[in-house]
Amino acid sequence: MTMFLRRLFSAPVIIGAILVVLVGIAGGFITNPTPIDSSVLTGFIDSRSAGVTTLMNSVGVVFDPNAIAVMAVVAGLIVWRAVKKILHGIFVMGSVALSAVNAHIIKALDGRPRPPEITRLAAETSPSFPSGHTTAITAFLAALVLVLTMTRWGRRLRHLLWIAALAFIVFIAVSRLYLGVHWLTDVLGGFGIGLGSTMILAPFLLGPNVLRRAF
């Protein structure tokens, strides 16, 4: 019980929980697009081309939240078999699952409308905030990199792994903005929910000092 409480009140759990709560609260205050939301959407609309549109639509399908959930299960099983630690595999799956729960709760509570339908290049019906794609990919890659940094080779390559993960998260976020299905603040919120959810689980499944080793 003492170990559980120590992990429950550890810095990663507290910071992660605060991040998730703050994102949820922020979503309640930004039901309307901010000036920067509108400017970013206009910028992407003006930069569209047929080839890029095809690419971004494909990215949206391949990295749909449901598809990422399947990837997390597969990756979790591979991690479990590779490092012989079932909790590491559960962590990868659990981070994506927890982020999805948090995102759905916030979507239901905030109910933010998406950008005007005329600007969208993909069909979406759920509330806009936070971005489900960005939430899922952030949780998945953050969890995967945390697990990898606990291996000998991953520890040596940790900076490269984090940079690659962040670059891909940004790419997915940009794809949602390009398609006109999210505001900038939606993808920022998704990043916060994905990262916060992963931080909440990390001490329980990877140990209390996981973040120190990861960076």
pLDDT at residue 195, rounded to an integer: 97
- pLDDT per residue over 27-83, tens digit each? 988 888 999 999 999 999 999 999 999 999 999 999 999 999 999 999 999 999 888
- 83 vs 201 pLDDT, higher one: 201
Q: Is 37 within the bounds of a domain?
A: no
Give the mean pLDDT of 76-96: 93
10: pLDDT strictly greater than 80:
no
- How many other CB atoms sit within 10 Å of the CB of residue 3? 9
d(CA 215, CA 210) in angstroms, rounded, equals: 9
Radius of gyration of the chain (CA): 18
Q: 10 in a domain, yes or no?
A: no
Assigned domain for 113 exists: yes
With pLDDT > 90 as the criterion, what percentage of the chain qualifies?
76
Distances (CA, A) of 202 to 55, 94, 206: 34, 10, 5
The residue range of the domain holding 123 is 65-214
pTM assigned to the model: 0.93
Q: Is residue 55 part of a domain?
A: no
Supply the pLDDT for residue 48: 95
* For residues 165-189, average pLDDT: 97
Residue 203 lies in a domain: yes
Which region holds residue 46: left if phi is over 0, alpha if psi is between -120 and 50, else beta?
alpha
At residue 212, the pLDDT reads 73
**Average pLDDT rounded to a whole number, residues 135-141:** 98
Domain membership flag for residue 146: yes
What percentage of residues in the chain have a pLDDT greater than 70? 97
Evaluate if residue 213 carries a pLDDT over 80: no
The pLDDT value recorded for residue 1 is 57
Number of domains making up the chain: 1
Q: Is residue 90 part of a domain?
A: yes
Q: Mean of the pLDDT values across residues 144-165? A: 91
- Is position 190 within any domain? yes
